[in-house]
């Protein structure tokens, strides 16, 4: 019951900020900050200045809480998320996801995903970051997917590695449990030059995150 009440609060504020904020970026940041406060999580971060208008965030993914952490830490940056297409079919939530500029990725169709990326390349905007979880889903974190590296190289954008530890204690994957007063450690590393070879970039990312 305790966790359900907290989830209801999080859902309430998701709709509240979406309705009351004209700027969707501002709504996302306020929602992330509020969600962290609801969970009473302690965020300990170590980061460097990105010094880039556009970049690609590649982070570990062990919990839904990872999303709140990234939005919160990159507070002044509009983040465009890569999300599986099924999420866009969820009533209301899917609409909100589209409004944020999230990019739909069809894991079952390479052609559809390629077309989505092609459209994004044509509509590239300044002062935004793209967030990707290279290890895929929250439950299967062993298979590293290098698609994000090719994406960064195509747009010639630096990659910012982000390592998140402890988020799975706040929101355990596969459960509705929310645990209070958990410490989450986040390390934001120096950017990686997209001009490096793919193997070199992948090797570096695997060591860092």
103, 80 Cβ separation under 8 angstroms: yes
Report residue 37 as tokens: 């406060």
pLDDT, residue 30, reads 95
Bridge partners of 161, per DSSP, are: 58
163, 59 Cβ separation under 8 angstroms: yes
pLDDT, residue 204, reads 96
Report the C-alpha gap between 112 and 103 in whole angstroms: 12
* pLDDT tens for the chain, residues 1 to 209: 689 999 999 999 999 999 999 888 899 999 999 999 999 999 999 876 666 778 999 999 999 999 999 999 998 888 988 877 777 777 777 777 877 778 776 655 545 555 566 666 555 556 688 999 988 765 555 688 888 898 888 888 999 999 999 999 999 988 889 999 999 999 999 999 999 999 999 999 999 98
pLDDT, residue 140, reads 52
Q: What is the DSSP string of 123-148?
A: T--SSEEEEE-TT-SSS--SS--THH
pTM recorded for the entire structure: 0.85
pLDDT, residue 112, reads 56
pLDDT, residue 154, reads 84
pLDDT, residue 189, reads 94
What separation in angstroms does the CA of 203 have from each of 89, 148, 149?
35, 14, 11
Pinpoint the alpha helices (H) of the chain.
Answer: 2-20, 24-39, 65-73, 93-99, 110-122, 147-155, 167-170, 198-208
Report the C-alpha gap between 115 and 120 in whole angstroms: 9
pLDDT, residue 174, reads 84
What separation in angstroms does the CA of 177 have from each of 54, 75, 164, 168?
35, 26, 19, 10
């Amino acid at each position: 019951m305790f966790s359900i009440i907290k989830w209801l609060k999080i859902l309430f504020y998701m709709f509240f900020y979406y309705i009351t904020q004209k700027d969707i970026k501002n709504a996302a940041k306020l929602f992330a900050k509020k969600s962290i406060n609801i969970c009473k999580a302690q965020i300990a971060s170590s980061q460097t200045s990105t010094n880039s208008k556009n970049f690609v965030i590649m982070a570990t993914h062990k919990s839904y809480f990872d999303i709140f952490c990234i939005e919160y830490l990159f507070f002044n940056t509009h983040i465009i998320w890569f999300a599986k297409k099924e999420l866009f079919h969820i009533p209301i939530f899917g609409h909100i996801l589209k409004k944020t500029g999230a990019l739909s990725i069809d894991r079952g169709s390479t052609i559809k995903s390629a077309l989505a990326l092609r459209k994004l390349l044509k509509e590239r905007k300044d002062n935004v970051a793209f967030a990707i979880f290279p290890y895929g889903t929250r439950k299967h974190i062993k298979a590293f997917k290098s698609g994000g590296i090719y994406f960064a190289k195509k747009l010639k954008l630096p990659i910012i590695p982000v390592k998140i530890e402890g988020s799975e204690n706040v929101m355990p994957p596969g459960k509705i449990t929310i645990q209070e007063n958990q410490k989450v450690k986040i390390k934001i590393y120096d950017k990686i030059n997209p001009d490096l070879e793919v193997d070199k970039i992948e090797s570096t990312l695997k060591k860092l995150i």
